[in-house]
Structure 1
Amino acid sequence: MAGTVEDLQRRLAVLRDNFVQELPQRLARVVALQPRVNGAWPTDIAADLRLLAHSIKGSAGTFGFTELSARAARLERLIAQSLAQADEPSADQKRAIREAADTLAAAGAVDKASAQVAAPRRPGRATKTLYLLDENPDRAAALIAQLRQYGYHPEAFVSAETLMIAVAELEPVVVLIDASGDGAPDRAIAAVTQLNADREPRIPTVLLAGRGDMSTRLAAVRAGIEIFLPWPAEVSELVNRLDQLATLDDQAPYRVLVLGADSIDANRTAALLEAVGMRTRVAPSAMRILETLTDFPPDMLVLDAALADCTGMELAALIRQFPAWSGLPILFLASAAEVERQLSSASADADDFMVKPVPPKRLRAAVAARAEKRRTFSILVAQDPLTGLMTHRVFDRRIEAEVARASRMERPLSLAILDIDRFRALNERHGYPVGDGILRSLALLLRRRLRRSDLIGRFGGDRIAVLLPETEAEMAEDLFDRIRLAFASMTHGGSDVAATATFSTGIAAARVGRPPAELTRAAELALFEAKKAGEGAIRLEED
């Protein structure tokens, strides 16, 4: 649900106008509650006044009303200090609270033109286009040919000047700099510094360096280079690192649930996150958080520490009681005093605290980092560590579900099992690291060439299985023929090895009433026939 910059500006302007329109009513409540805390000091009324001040402070700071936010923060701080002590506040404390409330209430005349809400600049970037800076044209051409097999659209430049001109016209998703030659790292680091000078957001950069000493790495860190990769290395390893930086269109957006002190503050947070491609949902209240979690399972929760029905920490502890949400990252937005209090208590229910008002850039970065960590952990428990594909056990469960669905709906479904040819000989000749790299390269190529709906799993050893919904066996044969040719043209192990490999394929089709185990056996028998036919062969099951 990513919006354009104009959409975000409009949404923030509406939220700001809503805040300004509601401000007189909020300040009227301050005026009404203030006398009631100057007598017998009812703690429930004092807590309500503190929550009201907290809400005004956050929204005012968010929308640029600095003075109003500061006055509300002072009132909140004074009440919080009084509530924290065992005895009733002294006459001097009550007088200070009364004066702070009067000062806040007097700030009702808000100049709507005094503050502007800036939306983040989102320059257009070419999805999957990367720029390669390399002083050696022949070396660049070889790397470009490999990267194209994985779906990237690389363009090569031999000088930093021509690279800067191209970037000014169209920004790539990543800049890759091959600095494996003598003296090249220093020139490359200087180019990155020039590239991202005064640029916001920065263009992600990857440095391929021939030397990996501490001084070179430290210089790269200081230049803001995100990934430092000793070179030469496996191209599949490079592609995996590029994927960490490239924001691809087919990546599912992070899902973020937001619960704020008030609806304006929560909707503003949601709008800022949606502007950079995240999907958000604003929870209506703390008391309805469980049903909202069920309706909208998030990658993380952004929670205000001060809520109407309970504290943020109480709500976090409640959520942690449910196994499904025990690992959900929670980011708290709180006042400086609240952050200090929670940090001193060493609570385990929050992953982090941020002091309100949080700058938009910091908020988005914090949310993205925690959401990615949650998503990565969820994926790792179901992934083969070498290839990143589904484990055999997970794949078997998915086969059962897909076969049942295809049988019920009478839709086509094909299973392909791939086996790398002469894999043992490749390991013996080039070493097991090269063999592992070949397997990783095939897994990565399959992820690039197949649909998101296709399921890919490692069957152990050098075998990979692919389940293709809505696909006849003949269509699968054509598909793997194209993938087979692409894989055969790739080299593995770096320039000093340059190994090549092929794979054979057996394909079987699901039928109504055919058990998953029988489908798997049919694909394995077809693979056996393909291996007998020779390297790179594809065979369909025999009728």
Structure 2
Amino acid sequence: MTGTETDPDNNLKKKLQALSLKFAATAGDRVAEIETAARRIIEAQEDGEISKALDETAFLAHRLAGSAASFGLPSLGGTAAALEKLLNSIKSSAAAISNEQSRLIKTIIGDLGKNLNKEKPPPPASATSTAATAKAETEAETEKQRLVFIIEDDKDLTGDLAAQLGHFGYGARVFTSTEGVIEALIKTPPAAVIANVALPEGDLAGIELLARIRDAIPLPPPAFAISSRDDLPARLAAVRAGARGYYSKPVDVARLSEALDTETEEEEAEPYRVLIVDDDESMAELYAVFLQSSGIATKTVNRPLDVMGPLAEYRPDLLLMDINMPDCSGIELASVIRQKEDYVRIPIVFLTSETDQDCRILAMRTGADDFLQKPVPPELLLSSVQSRIERSRFFDAMITRDSMTGLINHSKIKEILGVEISRASRQGAPLSFAMLDLDKFKSINDAYGHWAGDLVIKALALVLRQRLRKPDVVGRYGGEEFAVILPDTEPGSAAAVLDEIREGFSRIRHMVEGSSIQATFSCGVAGAEPGDSVEALTIKADEALYKAKQTDRNRVVLA
């Protein structure tokens, strides 16, 4: 593919680079500040002075513990956390500081300096980008962000957390103290609130703020706590304040984002779809009105021999079918439909004026799920239809969904791709298909274990669901490979959108055993052309993916 090299996420990359450099430049000052505060602990004579020095030093250590690990300095962060733990134990004992405790404080302070000198933050991952040939038609969709409030006094950490959440589709407003939070929340309600447990106002000031929000707002947004503390009292206080989750620093942003999605998404269930087959137009219309009044979408077919086209296009959840029809009875038609593998599981409900028991038995033998006697009370019709669709969708999800990611599986995405190819051909609409593959995935599994690989797979699934439009279809094609169907989208536009997602995903830090790793993916995009089959379009996308993998990876290639 030809094109000019571009960086669609250049501003974000520069921002993250600046944050990393800023933290690296100030880490020495932070350690020096802790050393000065710790010296006051050892030199203090009065109980009040000792207590004040302990509080100050513990707070500084707490702040460094969270931010250092988040910026890729796990040893420095771990040492700061050890210092905080020691100081808190001294505070709780209410006894004079012993010589042994003074020695331990000095030792840990020395370790801070050693770790600072030997540990450097990882450089931002390099990224190459293949230019898209057109501006993405879906740009507005992918840039929509849900607002979250972050209450955290560590400005470096909040900047990084906000940037990381941005990759998952969240915008952030940052507060460095509790002041003005409730007023801002009333004026501009966020989707969620994320508060650090300890703030300048106190060790539990963040949790106390969450409790005040819960009491002041009739329908408060979901709240989450973050902290360098991982003790039961802090977690219990968060639960009592109404927090939906508690995340230890360094925050695993993928897990936090998944929880945010669960708590904030108002996902509208796809309406049930019923295909009504009845030669009597007035009866078909009556059933349609009954069902539509309860939010069920319907399509009617009055000539039974014409049913196969609408069946393929409409993809109904259920067939509502009269038995006695000209040219072809409902029982015969059901037998024909059941011959096709795609429709073996679709529920079929028969309607008839027949009272003959033998007819009822024959209908059930052909695979009918229910047999309703005309005239059918609306309540009975609705109950029969809804219960069978609910059960069908439940079992269909078990069969067609990937258990790890919740995305549709290989066979289901090929089935939907076939439907979309037919629709695009019929309507003369564009259609794009993309295949994605995580780069050097085996290396991640070998270095960190399969659970780390699973973590990266789930994070990519989450990003794709968040950043793509509702009409787009995302599936796990197998292993570390994903597939995306983008209806009504030109290939160039699809490539532009997926390239932005690729760049953002490469910036995400995945927390593994106290440290962070980054991952990338390669992508091939193909557009459907007249006469393309599922196999032909898949091959084109796969060949483009292969080119991306062969040319440095971490890029999008257009077929």
Question: With structure 2 as the length reference, what TM-score do the two structures score?
Answer: 0.51
Residues 1:445 and 1:189: Cα distance change in structure 2 (over 3 Å)? same
Match of 2:521 among 465, 486, 503: 503
Per-residue deviation, 1:401:
0.4
Q: Which residue of 2 aligns with 1:292?
A: 290
Q: Which residue of 1 aligns with 2:481?
A: 463
Q: Which residue of 2 aligns with 1:244?
A: 262
Q: Give the AA of the match of 2:184.
A: A
Q: Which residue of 2 aligns with 1:325?
A: 387
Q: Which residue of 2 aligns with 1:391?
A: 409
Per-residue deviation, 1:200:
0.6
Q: Which residue of 1 aligns with 2:141?
A: none
SS of aligned partner of 2:179: helix
Per-residue deviation, 1:478:
2.3
Per-residue deviation, 1:130:
0.8
Q: Could you report, residue by residue, the CA deviation over 1:230-280 in whole angstroms, capped at 9, with x for unpaired residues?
A: 4445312211111222256xx427989xxxxxxxxxxxxxxxxxxxxxxxx
Q: Is the 8 A contact 2:177 2:201 kept in 1?
A: no
Residues 1:296 and 1:402: Cα distance change in structure 2 (over 3 Å)? farther
Match of 2:450 among 432, 451, 457: 432
Per-residue deviation, 1:387:
2.1
Q: Could you report, residue by residue, the CA deviation over 1:427-457 in whole angstroms, capped at 9, with x for unpaired residues?
A: 2223323222222222222222222111111
SS of aligned partner of 1:459: strand
Q: Which residue of 2 aligns with 1:228?
A: 246
Q: Could you report, residue by residue, the CA deviation over 1:331-350 in whole angstroms, capped at 9, with x for unpaired residues?
A: xxxxxxxxxxxxxxxxxxxx
1:427 and 1:435 mapped to 2: Cα distance?
5
Structure 1: gaps (5+ residues): 1-125, 257-287, 300-314, 330-373
Q: Which residue of 2 aligns with 1:143?
A: 161
Q: Give the AA of the match of 2:442.
A: R
Q: Which residue of 1 aligns with 2:36?
A: none
In the alignment, is residue 204 of structure 1 matched against residue 222 of structure 2?
Answer: yes
Q: Which residue of 1 aligns with 2:438?
A: 420
Residues 1:297 and 1:383: Cα distance change in structure 2 (over 3 Å)? farther
Q: Whose RCO is larger (CA < 8 A, sep 6+)?
A: 2
Residues 1:291 and 1:475: Cα distance change in structure 2 (over 3 Å)? closer
What is the root-mean-square deviation in Å for CA atoms of aligned residues? Answer: 3.7
Q: Which residue of 2 aligns with 1:493?
A: 511
Q: Which residue of 1 aligns with 2:540?
A: 522
Residue identity over aligned pairs, in percent, reads 30
Per-residue deviation, 1:203:
2.5
In the alignment, is residue 172 of structure 1 matched against residue 190 of structure 2?
Answer: yes
Q: Is the 8 A contact 2:425 2:530 kept in 1?
A: yes
1:316 and 1:178 mapped to 2: Cα distance?
54
Q: Could you report, residue by residue, the CA deviation over 1:379-418 in whole angstroms, capped at 9, with x for unpaired residues?
A: 6664322223222122111111001111222222111101
Per-residue deviation, 1:180:
7.9
Residues 1:165 and 1:377: Cα distance change in structure 2 (over 3 Å)? farther
Q: Which residue of 2 aligns with 1:159?
A: 177
Q: Is the 8 A contact 1:127 1:247 kept in 2?
A: no
In the alignment, is residue 441 of structure 1 matched against residue 459 of structure 2?
Answer: yes
1:217 and 1:327 mapped to 2: Cα distance?
42
Q: Is the 8 A contact 1:185 1:209 kept in 2?
A: no
Q: Give the AA of the match of 2:290.
A: T
1:537 and 1:222 mapped to 2: Cα distance?
46
Residues 1:377 and 1:163: Cα distance change in structure 2 (over 3 Å)? farther
Q: Is the 8 A contact 2:544 2:557 kept in 1?
A: yes
User: Matches of residues 59-98 of structure 1 in structure 2 within 5 Å?
Assistant: none
Q: Which residue of 2 aligns with 1:450?
A: 468
Per-residue deviation, 1:516:
0.6
Per-residue deviation, 1:467:
1.0
Q: Give the AA of the match of 2:538.
A: T
Q: Which residue of 2 aligns with 1:58?
A: none
Deviates more, 1:198-207 or 1:163-172: 163-172
Residues 1:205 and 1:316: Cα distance change in structure 2 (over 3 Å)? farther
Residues 1:180 and 1:499: Cα distance change in structure 2 (over 3 Å)? farther
1:225 and 1:325 mapped to 2: Cα distance?
36
Q: Give the AA of the match of 1:526.
A: A
Q: Is the 8 A contact 1:418 1:464 kept in 2?
A: yes
Per-residue deviation, 1:376:
9.1
Q: Is the 8 A contact 1:410 1:512 kept in 2?
A: no
Q: Is the 8 A contact 2:195 2:207 kept in 1?
A: no
Per-residue deviation, 1:474:
2.4
Per-residue deviation, 1:164:
3.0
Residues 1:538 and 1:169: Cα distance change in structure 2 (over 3 Å)? closer
Per-residue deviation, 1:294:
5.7
Q: Could you report, residue by residue, the CA deviation over 1:22-51 in whole angstroms, capped at 9, with x for unpaired residues?
A: xxxxxxxxxxxxxxxxxxxxxxxxxxxxxx
SS of aligned partner of 1:322: helix
1:375 and 1:182 mapped to 2: Cα distance?
51
Per-residue deviation, 1:132:
0.6
Residues 1:506 and 1:443: Cα distance change in structure 2 (over 3 Å)? same
Q: Is the 8 A contact 1:160 1:191 kept in 2?
A: yes
Question: With structure 1 as the length reference, what TM-score do the two structures score?
Answer: 0.53
Per-residue deviation, 1:489:
2.0
Structure 2: gaps (5+ residues): 1-143, 273-285, 298-376
2:199 and 2:520 mapped to 1: Cα distance?
32
Per-residue deviation, 1:497:
2.2
Match of 2:204 among 181, 186, 198: 186
Residues 1:254 and 1:170: Cα distance change in structure 2 (over 3 Å)? farther
Residues 1:320 and 1:216: Cα distance change in structure 2 (over 3 Å)? farther
Aligned length: 325
